[in-house]
Amino acid sequence: MVPPFLKSPKFYLSLALGLLLGGFAAWLLQAGTTKDAVIYGFAAPELMTRLASSGSPAPEEGAFRGATPAPENAAPTSLRSWWAK
């Protein structure tokens, strides 16, 4: 069974943009080793995603313990929740 997100064009667009951004960051920062390139390549899209979704405040430590999840039909509140759908 194929997960539903693999059928979404948004997933592939996000994947391609993340790869391009990660590759550009590794090139721009002149990664000296493969390990550095992987770190830069992961950190750049992660940083951009966090900056783009900064509309909602970060949860306090331990905020997820015992919290009830949002209903599935709730509107996305961040870029990360939009991407995950």
| Residues of the domain holding 38 | 14-51
- E-strand spans in the chain? none
pTM of the model: 0.55
Q: Which residue is associated with the tokens 């599935």?
A: 72
Tell me if 73 is assigned to some domain: no
Average pLDDT estimate for 8-20: 90
Would the CA dihedral through 65, 67, 73, 74 be positive or negative? negative
CA angle (83, 84, 85) in 5-degree steps:
95
Q: How many domains does the chain have?
A: 1
Convert the pLDDT of each residue in 28-65 to its tens digit. 989 899 999 999 888 888 888 788 776 655 555 555 55
- For the record, the structure tokens of 14 come out as 């996000």
Whole-number mean pLDDT of the chain?
Answer: 76
The answer to whether 4 and 84 are in contact (CB under 8 A) is: no
Asked whether residue 71 is assigned to any structural domain, the reply reads no
* 4 belongs to a structural domain: no
Residue 16 is predicted with a pLDDT of 92
pLDDT score of 4: 87
